[in-house]
Structure 1
């Protein structure tokens, strides 16, 4: 049979293998983006397992749609929920007692910003809360943590 008349067959195990390979690549990349393409490939593998006569064009279309929906859902809905917890598990001992300069004073229930002379735990600017009235340029020291914000007192 000539090559132009051969039909392409994509068995379920090929989709699942490709999906697992993509998810394994994600371990080394760490962007949490490639994972969704891999998960979509595994899901298409399950579809092909139960509907083996599904055309290759339909399989690829399902994979592309699932990849897009999963990635978009992650970045649009799930990832923003974890944004305020990025520094929540860090060591209190490294932060408490640090002295910095107020760049933006907290207003009401809002957060301000402090800058330390040297980076603390990888960042020289942090969000702050304070019961003391603070102005730009004031020196303040860290007394506690509240989620992702530092509690400071004026010096």
Structure 2
């Protein structure tokens, strides 16, 4: 182990760990590491104010981690995060109501339609190539359409 690491004050180790966990939350968000980082920072502040043995600091960190995770989980369950755009990452859902041009005739309920600069598979009533259809819903990567 490097010499500087063995002589490091424990509170600096806890504060550093907390900052690293908070940074890791930014890099790979999951809304989990931030609570462990908060517990590590609070443990570091406590260790700075009240010199404690390392096992006691580990116990404080464990308790604070549990309390932070449990409290955050309960709060998020009671106050779910809502969005103003429910179809934010659902491109097919965003197309509902759009009028598209059929590029491959819909026969036996299946065909293709132009969406932007690409084509999407569609399902709906039989129509000829070049006809206009309106998207009424989306099922996975398939658009359900009706005559426009």
Query: Per-residue CA shift, 1:12-70, capped at 9, x if unaligned?
Result: 11110011011111112111111111110000010011102x12111101101111111
Distance (Å, rounded) in 2 between the aligned partners of 1:79 and 1:98? 35
Q: TM-score normalised to the size of structure 1? A: 0.51
Aligned mate of 1:71, from 65, 69, 72: 69
Aligned residues: 103
Asked if the contact 1:26/1:33 (under 8 Å) is kept, the reply is yes
Name the SS for the 2:31 alignment partner: coil
1:82 alignment partner, SS class: coil
Deviation of residue 83 (structure 1)? 3.9
CA contact (8 A) 2:25 2:34 kept: yes
1: CA distance, partners of 2:140 / 2:68 = 40
Q: For the residues of structure 2 that align with 1:115 and 1:65, how far apart are their CA atoms?
A: 48
CA contact (8 A) 1:16 1:45 kept: yes
Q: Provide structure 1 residue ranges, at least 5 long, that are not aligned to the other structure.
A: 1-7, 100-113, 125-138, 141-155
Q: How does 1:131-150 map to 2 (within 5 A)?
A: none
**Counterparts in 2 of 1:26-41, with a 5 A limit?**
26-41=25-40
